[in-house]
Amino acid sequence: MSISAEEFKCIRSFVHEHSGILVGDGKEYLVENRLTVLMVQNGCKDFIELHEKLKTDPGPLRAKVIDAMTTNETLWFRDASFFTALSDHIAPALLEKAKRQPKVRVWSAACSTGQEPYSVAMLLDHGRRRMGAGAPPLEKFEILATDISPSAIYMAQAARYSQLAISRGMRPAFLDRYFEKKGMAYEVRPEIRKLVTFKSFNLKESFTSHGSFDFILCRNVLIYFSDDLKRQIYSKLHGALQREGMLAIGASESPRGYTDAFDQVIMGGAAIFRPKSGGVGAASAIAGRAR
């Protein structure tokens, strides 16, 4: 009754072609488990038929298949050393920049259900409070947060987290300061939510409409992609960074072998990447779309 090798191959190549995600060997059960419902509901007797349908009738069915096949696991302050780097090095640098620049722009490029961009927003506010007088106002910061999964984006926008989601990495002091209890859930406070704009966006597409950024987080997503796609995305990330910009990737990831356009800098135990020959000119710093 299990999925055949041919069916698996069809679905796998479809998912890869449209999202860049590589469904690993031995993940047949994942395909079967997540897509059988769509198969039956669309009147298909096997995944080959579903694949045929996908080719001729893309639109909503395609989105459903991609949504079902993406995993958006995430944590607050994912990876301790990265968030040390963020609070002790990156946030202070961005705050300094905000004194000189009209806007400082951050992009969380695979934001999942929002923990990552909200964590950044909280740390920026935290840093601002530590700075005391002379700290730039929060309005100077603009955080764009995108993900391919519409349901993840929806969750992120709702900004409500269960006790369970909160227990995954949220610090008590931050919970008190940045959340309001609403029934059984916790809701991110408006001043933090205001900083973040969410959009669905596929990293396979062109980045040009987003403008350029002072800091980009592209963490724990390229791991699902093929080498070729990794190369393309690193190059697009390079193009989207300001000259002094910084790129953060997942703790287990490395751009080595895909690009040599970045210099590695160790901050608070985490590797951060800076564009070698300067990203975009500083003049376009604020050319990015306002909200």
Ligand X SMILES: C[S@@+](CC[C@H](N)C(=O)[O-])C[C@H]1O[C@@H](n2cnc3c(N)ncnc32)[C@H](O)[C@@H]1O
Q: What, of another protein, ligand X, none, does residue 20 touch, CB below 5 to 8 Å by kind? A: ligand X
Looking at residue 285, what DSSP letter applies? G
Determine, following the binding rule CB under 8 A, whether residue 1 of this chain makes contact with another protein: yes
CA 134 to chain centre: 31
What b-and-e string marks burial along 232-243, b requiring 16 or more CB atoms within 10 Å of the CB? Answer: bbbebbbebbbe
Token readout for 49 is 């038929």
Determine, following the binding rule CB under 6 A, whether residue 74 of this chain makes contact with ligand X: yes
Determine, following the binding rule CB under 8 A, whether residue 73 of this chain makes contact with another protein: yes
The number of helix segments (H) and strand segments (E) in the chain equals: 12, 10
Q: What, of another protein, ligand X, none, does residue 110 touch, CB below 5 to 8 Å by kind? A: ligand X
| Binding letters toward ligand X, positions 230-269, x by CB under 6 A | --------------------x-------------------
At residue 259, φ and ψ (nearest 5 deg) are: -160, 150
Q: Applying CB under 6 A, which of residues 11, 12, 19, 90 lies at the interface with ligand X? A: 19
Q: Which stretch binds another protein (CB under 8 A): 91-99, 138-146, 159-167, 258-266?
A: 159-167
Q: For residue 144, list its beta bridge partners.
A: 107, 197
Distance of closest approach, residue 259 Cβ to ligand X, in angstroms:
18
Nearest alpha-carbon partner for 69 in 13, 113, 117, 111: 13
For residues 107 and 71, is the Cβ–Cβ distance under 8 A?
no
Determine, following the binding rule CB under 6 A, whether residue 202 of this chain makes contact with ligand X: yes
Residue nearest to ligand X (CB): 72
Nearest alpha-carbon partner for 142 in 7, 291, 253: 291
Q: Which stretch binds another protein (CB under 8 A): 6-14, 70-78, 100-108, 281-289?
A: 70-78
Tell me which residues touch another protein (CB under 8 A): 1-3, 28-29, 32-33, 36-37, 40-41, 64, 67-68, 71-74, 112-113, 149-152, 154-155, 157-158, 160-168, 183-185
